[in-house]
Amino acid sequence: MTRWARGGPGDGAATAAAPTELFGRREETAVLDGLLAQARGGSGGALVVWGEPGIGKSALLRHVHGQAADFVRLSHSATRPESDLAFAGLHGLLRPPADRVELLATAQAAAVRTALGLSGEPTDRLVVGAAVLSLLCGLAERQPVLLVVDDRQWLDEATALCLGFVARRVGAHPVVVVLADHSDPAARPWEGVADVRVDALSDESARQLVAAVAPLTDKATTRNMVRDAGKASDTRAMNRLTAQEQRVAQLAAEQLTDREIGVQLRISHRTVGHHLGNVFAKLGINTRTELSHLHAGCEPP
């Protein structure tokens, strides 16, 4: 689903009702609002918002879209059925301003027409990336541009590479690119693009959210909802570990030393340290005590 707006009412689902405050997301919204302020000042930027499914990434995209009423807004939600279609995502994003394609240089215009399925001419992905960058910068000469992509994990490779190319080059122009993804964006095509990891809400923020969307919920039900959501989130986090990392995490949570873990698993203590480093990174923790608490939260009552 794609939306095109120059601000104001009638924007459709992109500005659909959402809580005035995103509970527990002050840091994330501050980063997004900062990008918009930066663009209003004449310089752009890009950000990948990432985290497990259902963690609240789409709500953050709705927030930044809603705060950008004075921007040209282009948005697209990638879908699994189109993930193997080259430039399907670009087709969704650029159909609204397609009339501006003819303002590009001849080679770039031809490349974009091919990417949008308007021509059968052969094209080069580098030329497409440069053309999309030129198109966005051209739009930004009149007012800042916000480009938002949700469910990046389903974005076709050709579009992903194109947007990665664009995202690393918008700094000198009032263009903001924000993408939501399930996994760590450190690798291609987002290498070099700033990112924000979205973690589960704290218990207090979760209680505030329940009170806001379901104010008649009694305290006992709210407490159970928050507890169950926390356990589900912890379990999903543990499931991201490899089998060996899970074994190392289990023993480390029991406060065994690296050498003791190594003896039990018949691996060196250095290998244990390597696995434990991966565990901490994947779970977003720093100590064995945190690991013990997290592991306890995943166990059935």
pLDDT tens digits, residue range 61-97? 999 999 999 999 999 999 999 999 888 898 888 876 6
Per-residue pLDDT at 144 = 95
For the domain that residue 222 is a member of, what is the CATH number? 1.10.10.10
Segments in the chain below pLDDT 50? 1-19, 230-232, 234, 299-301
37 and 70, same domain (yes or no): yes
- In the numeric block, the tokens 């009552």 are attached to 301
- Note down the domain range covering 214: 203-298
Per-residue pLDDT at 20 = 53
255 and 278, same domain (yes or no): yes
Per-residue pLDDT at 217 = 63
Contacts of 155 (CB under 8 A, 6+ apart): 78, 83, 89, 149, 163
Backbone angles phi, psi at 177, to 5 degrees: -115, 125
Last residue of some domain: 155, 182, 197? Answer: 197
Query: Cα–Cα distance between 70 and 65 in angstroms, integer?
Result: 10
Question: Whole-structure pTM over 0.75, yes or no?
Answer: no
Per-residue pLDDT at 42 = 95
Query: Cα–Cα distance between 128 and 111 in angstroms, integer?
Result: 5
Query: Cα–Cα distance between 289 and 297 in angstroms, integer?
Result: 13
For the domain that residue 11 is a member of, what is the CATH number? 3.40.50.300
Per-residue pLDDT at 177 = 97
34 and 177, same domain (yes or no): yes
63 and 212, same domain (yes or no): no
Q: What is the DSSP string of 73-94?
A: EEEEE--GGGTTSTTHHHHHHH
Residue 105: DSSP 8-state: -
Last residue of some domain: 197, 226, 251? Answer: 197
